[in-house]
Amino acid sequence: MSLSQWPSEVPRIAARDASGHKGTFGRVLVVGGCSQSPVVMVGGPALAALGALRSGCGLAELAMPASLLVAGLTIAPSAVGHAIELDECGLPTARALKALAERAAFADAVVCGPGLGANAGLIVRAIMPSAQRLVLDADALNAFAFDVGAQPPSVVASEPDLCTALRARAPGTTILTPHVGEARRLARACGLIETASAADLSRALGAVVVLKSHETSIADVAHAWSVRAGTSALATAGSGDVLAGVIAGLWAQSTECSPFDLARQAVCLHGLASVHWTAAHGHAGLLAQDLASEIPAELERWRLGGSPTMR
């Protein structure tokens, strides 16, 4: 299926409560960013926060290494910042991990992973037990592949591996958003062949899987669906971070939609936003910030009670 209009089998998005306030529409925590020289990654978590806010969540919180937080908030100034304290080796301190777990428990949805770097496993391990609704993206997914080698011996000896910890989470509380390369690494980590499908990964890990490519596949343990999600303009840095934020933003607002349907809604919004941008600008040159800015109008077109515009 090529995504040029809202698919009839995907539920439309619920009408917004006209009497609501920012607390009504949910709180999203985004955890990411890396300041380990020579690699510095700032944009990913900030773009995810923008995606969450543009999808209508009431509050976005941005947790990043202290040295990067101001830069992240410059990109997403409407977010609230939380500094991740690092030790002299560049690892998050025990106090920082405890604080992240507490913030994750307080949030309605958490995005973990954009630009998080090589120490993602420590943070994933800290957040996973407390996050009510968890979107694992980018380096949080790579952490599964490098789990044992990246963790201190004391952690490896006393804690289950990340795949086991993920399977222990309650059904319907985790969404994974790998691109093809991340999916291959994730498949190897959980004992599957590298070409495992979204459905294979979902059954193996007990999570909803959004496998991103020119055709995006979405699966939970009982359903599978795929769509050619938008235009080639999406082949740009940061577009996946925006999608992770949109998923979390919709999830933070939702009380009735299943995670599988919610993921489909987010992929449709994200893809149709690229269709709208491409119609005005062409197939190249889209910036992730531009993509995020297209989300609100697309969201309004496909709300229940709205009047969709077919292209």
Q: 111 in helix, strand or coil?
A: strand
CATH number, domain of 46, equals 3.40.1190.20
Residue 309 has pLDDT above 70, yes or no: no
Residue 244 has pLDDT above 90, yes or no: yes
Question: Is 234 within the bounds of a domain?
Answer: yes
Residues 267, 210 contacting (CB under 8 angstroms): yes
- Average pLDDT estimate for 127-139: 97
Residue 154: the pLDDT is: 43
Half-sphere exposure (Cβ direction) of 285: Cα atoms closer than 13 Å: 7
Q: How many CB atoms lie within 10 A of CB 128?
A: 22
Question: Is 3 within the bounds of a domain?
Answer: no
Q: Between the CA atoms of 41, 272, 287 and 43, what dihedral angle is there, to the nearest 10 degrees?
A: -20
Domain that holds residue 49: 27-301
Question: Is 22 within the bounds of a domain?
Answer: no
Q: What sections of the chain are H helices per DSSP?
A: 43-54, 69-75, 94-106, 120-127, 139-145, 147-150, 153-158, 162-167, 180-189, 198-205, 239-253, 259-281, 288-301
Q: How far apart are CA 216 and CA 126, in angstroms?
A: 29
174 pLDDT band, cuts 50/70/90, is very high
Question: pTM to 2 decimals?
Answer: 0.94
Question: Is 6 within the bounds of a domain?
Answer: no
Residue 146: the pLDDT is: 83
Summarised one tens digit per residue, pLDDT across range 97-127 is: 999 999 999 999 999 999 999 889 999 999 9
Strands 174-176 and 134-136: parallel
Residues 27, 33 contacting (CB under 8 angstroms): no
Residue 276: the pLDDT is: 94
For 77, residues 6+ apart whose C-beta sits below 8 A from its C-beta are none
Q: How far apart are CA 112 and CA 248, in angstroms?
A: 10
Question: Is 162 within the bounds of a domain?
Answer: yes
Question: Is 132 within the bounds of a domain?
Answer: yes
- Average pLDDT estimate for 68-82: 97
Summarised one tens digit per residue, pLDDT across range 6-46 is: 999 999 999 999 998 999 999 999 999 998 878 899 999 99
Question: Is 306 within the bounds of a domain?
Answer: no
If one counts the domains in the chain, the total is: 1
Q: How far apart are CA 156 and CA 149, in angstroms?
A: 9
- Average pLDDT estimate for 76-105: 96
Helix 288-301 and helix 259-281, axial crossing angle in degrees, nearest 10: 110
Among candidate residues 97, 45, 35, 26, the one with its CA nearest the CA of residue 67 = 35
Question: Is 260 within the bounds of a domain?
Answer: yes
